[in-house]
Chains A and B, each alone.
Chain A
């Protein structure tokens, strides 16, 4: 009951947060420089043309009026029509969301795997050259931003040793009609291994670029937690029972050391999703981030609003999920 109440409370605060985000975004993008009507003026346009365009896109009304019209539409699931593509915003953002989610989840899996492995190895070989090497590697991984990793990966695995695709999400020549936009998930269900290989070939570099800095953070924090845990009594007890060091780390120390890392991973995951904006652009990956940049360049206000609201929704839901998971995994909170 307490858990349910907590979830309901979080959902309520999520709704309030989203409303706040909507207000801020709506006002800010109308105040910042760059009038979308001025952007779309053809040569020879007259004052009458400007007025006609302003009326057509509703910019002749005050900002509060525009907001109320937009909010009324949103309540009915209508996020407006994109100025640049003349398509419904909701359809556009929802069609791109799966690409970003798949990329982010794969990046997260890579980050957790890499970071976790580094942390376990660092703990296992603590105070040795191996730990030193892991610390140096993690430090380097962390100090280079994701877009720079992207460029390094393009150079290494796109140009010098071209094993992965540099741009796009899937090869245009592949003959497959997807019924959903979760290409990887659908290809897995349909056991289309050629498509899976192609999708992974496109996804590896952007996912790695996103994952490397996060992996370094996970490695450092988890290793620190593990090392602290290794001095606790129950770990010593496990050793006296004759458990090997690897078993002591994975069976006894790891479950307790995971909790602080989990919270961090949750927070960092939202940053990782934010990072897709640049990475998707670099790799021409057809996700929300790439679309967001085009929307900003074109001053496509309805599309910018739709994307930002969706990002905000993802962020709050991820945080909610992490909080819930924390409660589930932490016995002290679970039984509180």
Chain B
């Protein structure tokens, strides 16, 4: 083709036409909020199956369904579908008052029957309910007026906290019985702030505001949540204006973009922590080695250098937001003390103690790099650790079988904030999540599972955390900070659980 004025005009016209046709729709005003989310939603039932215990998708569920007892953005407990609750005098039964005037998305009124049915359903293992050790305690769940009562097979002081946690959602009895599991999956309804308008598996979910929401209608009337697994694509989504909000991106990218015209960022510590499991095998049975390993890590420098300062150094498995957090428990960076401890066991830089440390690569921000830095710090005091990279699935398998290496990096989530779901499950030998088998810790934890006096229970966990820190039975590293990048026209209120909740977003 000869290049002349006419052909150039044709080419320009064709390009312009193509651009017009293919141009994404950029809203002047944000009528429809678009969120680029980092994970897919595999299933809509928040109470049974694998997805129900997946912490990363609880934000979807909390947009559509109500927890029995909601958690505020600062992790404190609010008043929700259950407005008041308690135990009887001898802790053998519970009662709960159900909010009146709440409607399901299909217009049916919510009743105490729904709450009783939902609890009975998750208490039945045949439904596929995964949290049996809690809900399995509920027996004879009954509704009378707006009050629900249940007998308890065993007392668990965290029972009501689980009503704000995984699988603690109210489900619609009448609707579910009408449509069945498959029908519910195709057209889920809840009492939450948003209703499901359209759901394309692996692609997006489109939500419509529930104007009758008992907590007040959300500001954005339509919200589309796109599932964008790749971090670079999520960043591009917001940078290009295709999406208004996204989360979980490299901190360097976050720093680069949050100051850009039209964009803003909010970064808050969330309930996820990074830690090193110590398995009491091989050299880790020597307390001097464990303590030296703990004292040789300069957590703050690692956070500053590798995570651009986004992180909070921790010395127990409690974050500062949790009730059992004790600021007085410290495991300071002290390389000289680490050398002394190692010397007491016959180790030094000339004769280093050797063990393996396992870690993921890319599962959490800079996980591998952090372990490389730690191994470097250890080398200076006389610890020679060999890094083994594994997939997260392998970690779960090894942990459940108590076959982790002497040291293994992992991240632990505990949005409910209770010490049982952090120190408890991570350090209690019989738990499949723990690799620490020490009798002393087990005996210290044992009485706390059923402690009814809340103040005494929390103090008990603080004492357990103190002895764990003193003996270096685990090495807590940091509390993660979640970066949320958003259009400057949107005000995002982050939730410390890490759930990105559209109903907490308003126009700036």
Contacts and interface: CB of A to CB of B under 8 A. Distances in A.
B125 A52 contact: yes
Interface string B404-440: 0000000000000000110001000011110000000
A252 interface: no
A150 to B, nearest CB: 9
Contacts of A201: 21-24
A214 to B, nearest CB: 22
A33 B133 contact: no
B25 interface: yes
B485 to A, nearest CB: 14
Given A42-B130, A158-B240, A291-B202, A33 B393 contact: yes
B394 A169 contact: no
B203 A169 contact: yes
A296 B240 CA distance: 30
Interface residues of B, number: 66
B51 A154 contact: no
A37 B50 CA distance: 9
A164 B23 CA distance: 6
Interface in B200-243: 200-204, 206, 224, 226-230, 232-233, 236-237, 239-242
Interface residues of A, number: 62
Contacts of A286: 200-203
B454 interface: no
A83 interface: yes
B268 interface: no
Given A173-B25, A197-B21, A201-B23, A159 B185 contact: no
Contacts of B229: 281, 284, 290, 293-294
A166 B224 CA distance: 15
Interface stretch (B3-11, B73-81, B320-328, B395-403): B395-403
A298 to B, nearest CB: 7
A40 B128 contact: no
Interface in A147-191: 151, 154-155, 158-159, 162-173
A38 B397 contact: yes
Task: With a 10 A CB-CB cut-off, give which of B43, B201, B396 has the most chain A CB atoms.
Answer: B396
A166 B397 contact: no
Contacts of A169: 203
A197 B43 contact: no
A169 B200 CA distance: 10
Contacts of B203: 168-170, 172, 284, 286
A289 B399 CA distance: 30
B40 interface: yes
Given A41-B433, A43-B433, A85-B42, A166 B202 contact: no
Contacts of A168: 203-204, 226
A44 B131 contact: yes
B330 interface: no
Contact of A173 (B40, B51, B224): B224
A235 interface: no
Interface centre among A167, A168, A201, A290 (most CB of B within 10 A): A167
B166 A42 contact: yes
Nearest to B165: A43
Contacts of A166: 228, 233, 236-237, 240, 242
Contacts of B233: 154, 166-167, 282-284
Nearest to A33: B394
Nearest to B428: A44
Q: What 9 A-B pairs have minimum CB-CB distances, sorted nearest first? A: A34-B393, A201-B22, A33-B394, A38-B396, A38-B400, A286-B203, A197-B21, A35-B397, A286-B202
Interface of B: 18-19, 21-26, 32, 36, 40, 42-43, 45, 49-51, 53, 125, 128, 130-134, 166-167, 181, 185, 198, 200-204, 206, 224, 226-230, 232-233, 236-237, 239-242, 390-391, 393-394, 396-397, 399-401, 420-421, 425, 430-433
